[in-house]
Amino acid sequence: MFQRIKNMAAPELAGWLAMVMLHSNTIPTTVSLILGYKAILPPLSMVLLTWAGLGLYFWRAVYQHDMLYMVSNGIGFMLNSILLAIIVFPWG
């Protein structure tokens, strides 16, 4: 695996790094809420639009067989689904 990463072209590696960075932004809020800490929730409309956009991007990535975007949008869709569930069905 590390050999494959080492042999990646810089733009491809940048794409994977960007994916990790972009999808990491929902993790602190989600984890804080799950653990019972106070956190500022994003507006429902923002999460819904992000969720819908990621779903459409995922559909496009599957059609084009683009592994980076399939992984990225799948992860983003999953993380935003968790955040959406927390907003719509609050507990605690």
- Whether the predicted model's global pTM rises above the 0.95 cut: no
**Chunked in runs of 10, what are the mean pLDDT values of the chain (92 residues)?**
77 82 83 85 85 86 90 87 84 64
Residue 37 is predicted with a pLDDT of: 87
Residue 13 is predicted with a pLDDT of: 83
Residue 92 is predicted with a pLDDT of: 58
73 burial level (CB within 10 Å; 0-12, 13-18, 19+): buried
Composition of the chain by helix, strand, coil, percent to 5: 80, 0, 20
Residue 7 is predicted with a pLDDT of: 81
Residue 62 is predicted with a pLDDT of: 92
Helices (H) then strands (E): counts for the chain = 5, 0
Q: Quick one: DSSP state of residue 89?
A: S
Q: How far apart are CA 40 and CA 59, in angstroms?
A: 30
